[in-house]
Structure 1
């Protein structure tokens, strides 16, 4: 079930298809998403979205502060640091609170890189 983070209010995501078998372990990462050669700060989830009962492994990227249209564009991901393991939350609201915390932490880590 790709797109579960999209269901968490205020956290739109790019739901990506892995074109490589070289993915990090399931979890949440501070990362850069590359869109048409431009690096954007992001929080990226790799895994099955257990809060929503997912079974299919997906990559979901919440691009920090981004409001553009990326539908149909080739997107790359540069993983910088693992923030935490993937976990099931009791509610969408609890997930949204944690994504907000993850986004703040990713912003600090990615800084002016």
Structure 2
């Protein structure tokens, strides 16, 4: 089991996913699984950069094993996958293990000031 590195990262599921991605604020959703070691690294990075970006976007994660319907609906075939949503629309996608700098650049290029 992956420990929650940061209690501010919202855990998404079938009940709260749609409502969460309707937000007008940018939402970063981390599609992950407990057995995925690269996913654990990404979750740790998200926790480390949370304070830097929490004013600009919402951090969330979705366990692909517990939520196969949502995973399929968003065509997630490889994990970790980071998807940025805003107003129910996909803004950008980053697939695979990334460094902290790559994730920060991914976020920065999509933030609209």
| TM-score bracket for the superposition, by shorter chain length | 0.3 to 0.5
TM-score by length of 1: 0.37
Say which structure is richer in helix.
2
Say which structure is richer in strand.
1
TM-score by length of 2: 0.37
